[in-house]
Amino acid sequence: MNKKLFIILFALSISILMQAQENLRFGEVREIISPEIHADNSVTFRLQAPNATNVEVQGDFTAEKAQMTKNANGIWSYTTTPLPSELYTYSFVADGLQMNDPNNVHYRRDVASTLNVLLVPNGQADLYRVNNVPHGTVARRWYNSPGNNKMRRITIYTPPGYEESNEKYPVLYLLHGMGGDEEAWITLGRASQVLDNLIAQGKAKPMIVVMSNGNVAQEAAPGESSLGFYKPVFNLPNTMDGKFEETFIDILHFVDNSYRTIPEKSGRAIAGLSMGGFHSLHISHFYPNTFDYIGLFSAAIRPRDASLSKVYQDIEGGLKRQMENGFQLYWIAMGKEDFLFQTNIDFRELLDGMNFPYVYRESEGGHTWRNWRIYLGEFVSMLFK
């Protein structure tokens, strides 16, 4: 066995390996950095498109598409003004065709749209970063839902130290909006980073976070079920007809039987955004002695007209029972520009008329993940104290 030959073969192998990997596209783009975040929080976007006649960049950092300019090498670029610290999404438009940034491998899916992400640090978005702090575990599991006659996928965050301890932990049930699923709070909501960071800062108690799928017609998020790699749709059946609320008991049973929880009201919180706020509202009065902390983030309020579910037959009676049983916090968060703003005014009037105690948090902006991430951080900081 000639050792030198081996070494030569190996060195050769590595150099071939670097060209041979299937479907990789280093070559033409490897020296392009996009997005590039500068020290002052301005951002440069770049796209190599020598044949294009017009390239723009669009994203939630700008109200209008921004015109990019081409250099002699066919690389289009645009630099923003300094941006507020935030987690942004963006895409390019090349000759009218929307496309992702081939130099940014970091994406988030929102319903049927997949956009690049970009984190501008030194402010609010530091809460959404992976920092050098202890990290919790994120597990994708399947639980049995007898009420829906199927196994369903669920995402569970357990806090740092959970596995090494024998303690019992409180649980936050965290629910997504319409078009979302059990991936939404992890990917778009940065829930595991928000929890890791706030726990490390001593601002949140260590807690389990349960991110269920509120679309009971689904087993799992698109691509994660036996339906295969299909195209997601916004409007699914059986999302706001009472079935999720009725069968939420399956999730409570699964969690209390599978984790070291505090299986009583003092150890349970429930919150959600938009449709998930609607679910939190109705689950918490349908199981009226189950949750000490309730969070409605940009919540829808009223059921669809056609639903005959028992969940919605006596909403005011349910709220009254919930109030009589008592709870620690009923938190209603809403952006000034949210299209559900007036609906929530009406809901708060109903609560006021019942002397139902709640805390109202009004923010700038509207029906956006930016607001929901902020609400999540504020809400978890108030729990289980």
Distance CA 49, CA 70 (A): 8
As measured in angstroms, the least distance from the Cβ of 266 to a second copy is 25
| 348: contact with a second copy by CB under 8 A | no
Q: Which amino acid is at 362?
A: E
| 63: contact with a second copy by CB under 8 A | no
| 89: contact with a second copy by CB under 8 A | yes
| 350: contact with a second copy by CB under 8 A | yes
User: With CB under 8 A, what is the number of residues at the site for a second copy?
Assistant: 103
As measured in angstroms, the least distance from the Cβ of 367 to a second copy is 6
Choices 263-271, 325-333, 346-354, 355-363 (CB under 8 A): range interacting with a second copy: 346-354
As measured in angstroms, the least distance from the Cβ of 17 to a second copy is 7
Q: In this chain, which of 60, 250, 256, 378 binds a second copy, going by CB under 8 A?
A: 60
Task: State the pairing for strand pair 268-273/171-175.
Answer: parallel
As measured in angstroms, the least distance from the Cβ of 382 to a second copy is 27
| 153: contact with a second copy by CB under 8 A | yes
Closer by beta carbon to a second copy, 330 or else 369: 369
Q: In this chain, which of 38, 65, 70, 135 binds a second copy, going by CB under 8 A?
A: 135
As measured in angstroms, the least distance from the Cβ of 258 to a second copy is 6
As measured in angstroms, the least distance from the Cβ of 105 to a second copy is 5
Binding mask 94-113 for a second copy (x = CB under 8 A): xxxxxxx-xxxxxx-xxxxx
Closer by beta carbon to a second copy, 221 or else 383: 221
| 201: contact with a second copy by CB under 8 A | no
Q: Quick one: residue 228, left, alpha or beta (phi over 0 = left, psi -120 to 50 = alpha)?
A: left
As measured in angstroms, the least distance from the Cβ of 88 to a second copy is 10
Choices 6-14, 287-295, 328-336, 372-380 (CB under 8 A): range interacting with a second copy: 6-14
Closer by beta carbon to a second copy, 189 or else 265: 189
Choices 201-209, 220-228, 242-250, 374-382 (CB under 8 A): range interacting with a second copy: 220-228
* Residues in contact with 259: Cβ distance below 8 Å, sequence separation at least 6, in sequence order: 156, 158, 169, 171, 208
Closer by beta carbon to a second copy, 100 or else 289: 100
Q: In this chain, which of 69, 308, 339, 357 binds a second copy, going by CB under 8 A?
A: 339
Q: In this chain, which of 243, 265, 279, 367 binds a second copy, going by CB under 8 A?
A: 367
Q: Quick one: residue 96, left, alpha or beta (phi over 0 = left, psi -120 to 50 = alpha)?
A: left
Which residues, numbered 255-294, are part of the site for a second copy (CB under 8 A)?
Answer: 258, 274
